[in-house]
């Protein structure tokens, strides 16, 4: 069995290598543009501790929007369902940072995984946590079971310096009353959150908690309730991949979340977590080789939620 999964990862590796030059590394953030487009890694982690990996699975990268999953989990753990009074749970159907939807729907973002929604989550964290910046890191470190997970201040500063569309969104939501704190504070913290760096192994350990319905595999601690897990998984399924949720559901069939750093973290509830990283993006903003690798994985293993 062990051989089988390792062999599958090796086959996948061979098949995606030719694709590594096809994607386009995110260049709107100068710091991200410096990443080597030839990087590729997978980490597969089962609830029963079996683990398989290949490639650059232990090299840190900017998790970017994948942090939105941790932000949501920590916030619902504190506040429960009332989070969803401030942000909706439906797919957006628009490019991931559109203002139009926000204006027509009176400042209520469509879901917590688009930028506007994550900005509202950030605002909630400022209102209800003592030290959200520290607490998010602590939360992730606890999920992973490892201390050296940090923000990258250079990346955060780089994003702040060009994050005008996010600033537009947070100000628009403030004009509708759906941001309670100072807009600069919200933006600063949001960009910090996006700048977290982890490797495939660390992300796989963190997401395994979600694959285990919100309960730690090793510490057996319940991080989020069964119902909160279910809600979060549904949001990952329908909203986790920018404007490609349908395509991802078809090709991969796992709930998950991608980031413009080229990472994708996904789960098969009750079974495993899997994380791929490849910095080249497709036109919709998802890792090109990463999506292909996950598609090959679920096809070869015959596992998917469907």
Binding residue numbers: 65, 115, 159, 166, 190, 242, 260
Among 116, 122, 237, 258, binds a copy of itself (CB under 8 A): 237
255 binds a copy of itself (CB under 8 A): yes
175 binds a copy of itself (CB under 8 A): yes
Other C-beta atoms closer than 10 Å to the C-beta of 38 total 13
Residue bearing tokens 């989990």: 73
Among 172, 185, 215, 216, binds a copy of itself (CB under 8 A): 172
239 binds a copy of itself (CB under 8 A): yes
Pick the closer one to a copy of itself by CB: 11 or 247. Answer: 247
Q: Using H for helix, E for strand and C for coil, what is the string for 208-242?
A: HHHHCCCECCCCCCECCCHHHHHHHHHHHHHHCCH
User: Binding residues for a copy of itself, how many (CB under 8 A)?
Assistant: 46
Pick the closer one to a copy of itself by CB: 76 or 136. Answer: 76
Which window, 13-21, 134-142, 172-180, 275-283, contacts a copy of itself (CB under 8 A)? Answer: 172-180
d(CA 263, CA 278): 6
Which window, 4-12, 62-70, 104-112, 217-225, contacts a copy of itself (CB under 8 A)? Answer: 104-112
Least distance CB 153 / a copy of itself (angstroms): 21
167 binds a copy of itself (CB under 8 A): yes
- Binding positions for substrate are 65, 115, 159, 166, 190, 242, 260
258 binds a copy of itself (CB under 8 A): no
d(CA 211, CA 205): 10
Angle between helices 183-194 and 132-144 (to 10 degrees): 20
Q: Using CB atoms within 10 A of its CB, is residue 283 exposed (0-12), middle (13-18) or buried (19+)? A: exposed
- Which residues sit at the interface with a copy of itself, rule CB under 8 A? 88-94, 98-101, 103-104, 110-111, 164-165, 167-169, 171-172, 174-175, 183, 230-231, 233-235, 237-239, 243-247, 249-250, 253, 255, 269, 304-306
């Amino acid at each position: 069995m062990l051989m089988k999964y390792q062999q599958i990862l090796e086959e996948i590796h061979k098949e995606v290598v030719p694709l590594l030059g096809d994607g386009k590394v995110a260049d709107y953030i100068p710091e991200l543009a410096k990443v080597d487009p030839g990087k590729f890694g997978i980490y597969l982690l089962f609830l029963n501790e079996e683990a398989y990996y290949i490639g650059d699975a232990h090299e840190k990268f900017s998790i970017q929007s994948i942090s939105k999953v941790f932000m949501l989990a920590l916030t619902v753990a504190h506040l429960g369902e009332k989070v969803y009074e401030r942000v909706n749970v439906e797919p957006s159907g628009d490019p991931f940072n559109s203002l139009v939807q926000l204006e027509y729907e009176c400042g209520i973002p469509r879901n917590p995984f688009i930028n506007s929604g994550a900005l509202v989550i950030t605002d909630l964290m400022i209102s209800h946590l003592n030290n959200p910046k520290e607490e998010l890191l602590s939360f992730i470190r606890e999920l992973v079971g490892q201390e050296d997970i940090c923000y990258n201040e250079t990346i955060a500063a780089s994003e702040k310096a060009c994050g005008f569309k996010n600033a537009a969104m947070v100000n628009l939501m403030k004009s509708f009353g759906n941001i309670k704190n100072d807009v600069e504070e919200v933006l600063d913290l949001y960009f910090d959150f996006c700048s977290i760096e982890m490797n495939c192994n660390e992300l796989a350990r963190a997401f395994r908690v979600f694959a285990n319905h919100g309960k730690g595999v090793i510490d057996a601690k319940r991080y989020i309730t069964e119902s909160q897990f279910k809600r979060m998984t549904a949001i990952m399924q329908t909203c986790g991949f920018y404007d490609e949720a349908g395509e991802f559901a078809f090709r991969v069939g796992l709930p998950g979340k991608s980031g413009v750093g080229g990472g994708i973290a996904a789960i098969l509830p009750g079974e495993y977590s899997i994380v791929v990283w490849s910095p080249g993006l497709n036109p919709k903003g998802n890792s090109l080789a990463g999506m292909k690798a996950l598609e090959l994985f679920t096809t070869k293993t015959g596992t998917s939620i469907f």
